[in-house]
């Protein structure tokens, strides 16, 4: 009698476990991978007239200093959305000059189709620099890294970005990671001020960290945003 009860209890527990994991696998946005982790990515602007006073763009009724929507991807170590010393892709160039996600989104989807990137994520533009933008990011063992960019607007080809943030450290998913985000120059335009007229660069120059005087104080780079990745 007792043995029968124990078996029945064991079956009930096994059934319970199975249905719980089924629910998890079917939850929206879940990769279904037991080795994955979900993060909330938050970009908090720190690009203000006080922190970056040189030529800081005027606030207008219809325009003014803002960031484009974030766009990024999860990936492994054989892919980088951007990197110092590499010419920009057409997608990164357009993102950095016009804030448009196309064709960068198509480039990232092609990387996903080729098995070199995981998920694409995006946010709306940050029109009010007093607010943050967020996106939900799902990483796994194959694609444990995150890269993300947003245009600094107005600007010739300047963007805020972080590449190759590895969310797995020492074999564990990190609980939270916070990074300073610096300005970059994509290498697609020769303008040297925020509101310079278009001056397309051909051939493209390599993407570099942006050492225009707008982003330096006493020779040190001043971050334009903070990026937080918090495990959900
Ligand atoms: Ca440039
Ligand atoms: Ca250009």
In this structure, what CATH number is given to the domain that contains residue 164? 2.60.40.2130
Q: For the chain, what is the domain count?
A: 2
Residue with tokens 């590895």: 166
pLDDT digits (tens, 9 = 90+) for 193-208: 999 999 999 999 999 9
**88 and 179 assigned to the same domain:** yes
**133 and 146 assigned to the same domain:** yes
Q: In 3D, which of 177, 173, 136, 228 has the Cα closest to residue 36?
A: 173
**14 and 82 assigned to the same domain:** no
**114 and 79 assigned to the same domain:** yes
User: What is the Å distance from ligand 2's center to 100 Cα?
Assistant: 13
Domain that residue 21 falls in = 1-30
- For residue 60, what pLDDT is reported? 81
Mean pLDDT score, 123-130: 96
pTM: 0.85
**13 and 48 assigned to the same domain:** no
CA dist 46 and 97 (Å) reads 20
CA dihedral (168, 174, 179, 185) in degrees, to 10, reads 30
**153 and 64 assigned to the same domain:** yes
**149 and 179 assigned to the same domain:** yes
**77 and 127 assigned to the same domain:** yes
**11 and 122 assigned to the same domain:** no
**42 and 79 assigned to the same domain:** yes
Q: What percent of the chain has pLDDT over 70?
A: 85
Mean pLDDT score, 140-152: 98
* Listed residues: CB within 5 A of ion ligand 1: 157, 185, 189
**22 and 98 assigned to the same domain:** no
**196 and 145 assigned to the same domain:** yes
Which ligand is closest to the CA of 157, given by its number?
1
- For residue 182, what pLDDT is reported? 98
**Mean pLDDT over the full length of the chain:** 89
Lowest mean pLDDT among 15-24, 60-69, 142-151, 179-188: 15-24
User: What is the Å distance from ligand 2's center to 188 Cα?
Assistant: 4
Which ligand is closest to the CA of 94, given by its number?
2
Which ligand is closest to the CA of 191, given by its number?
1
User: What is the Å distance from ligand 2's center to 26 Cα?
Assistant: 43
Question: How far apart, in Å, do the first and last CA atoms of the chain sit?
Answer: 44
Q: In 3D, which of 37, 38, 40 has the Cα closest to residue 133?
A: 40
* pLDDT exceeds cutoff 60 at 104: yes
- For residue 65, what pLDDT is reported? 97
- For residue 34, what pLDDT is reported? 58
Ordered alpha helix ranges (H), the chain: 2-26, 90-98, 104-113
CA dist 117 and 81 (Å) reads 10
Contacting residues for 110 by C-beta, under 8 A, at least 6 apart: none
User: What is the Å distance from ligand 1's center to 203 Cα?
Assistant: 12
């Amino acid at each position: 009698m007792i043995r029968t009860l124990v078996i029945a209890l064991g079956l009930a527990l096994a059934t319970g476990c199975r249905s719980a994991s089924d629910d998890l696998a079917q939850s929206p946005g879940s990769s279904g991978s037991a080795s994955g982790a979900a993060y909330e990515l938050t970009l908090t602007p720190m690009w203000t007239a006080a922190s970056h006073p040189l030529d800081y763009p005027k606030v207008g009724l219809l325009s003014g200093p803002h960031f484009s929507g974030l766009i990024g991807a999860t990936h492994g170590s054989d892919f980088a959305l951007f990197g110092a010393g590499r010419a920009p892709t057409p997608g990164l160039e357009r993102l950095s000059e016009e804030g448009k996600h196309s064709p960068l989104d198509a480039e990232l989807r092609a990387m996903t189709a080729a098995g070199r990137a995981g998920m694409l994520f995006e946010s709306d533009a940050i029109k009010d620099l007093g607010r943050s933008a967020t996106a939900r990011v799902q990483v796994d063992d194959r694609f444990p890294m995150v890269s993300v960019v947003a245009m600094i607007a107005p600007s010739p080809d300047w963007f805020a970005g972080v590449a190759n943030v590895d969310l797995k450290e020492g074999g564990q998913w990190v609980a939270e990671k916070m990074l300073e985000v610096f300005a970059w120059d994509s290498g697609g335009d020769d303008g040297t001020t925020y509101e310079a007229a278009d001056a397309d660069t051909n051939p493209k120059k390599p993407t570099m960290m942006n050492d225009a005087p707008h982003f330096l104080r006493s020779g040190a780079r001043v971050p334009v945003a903070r990026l937080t990745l918090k495990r959900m």
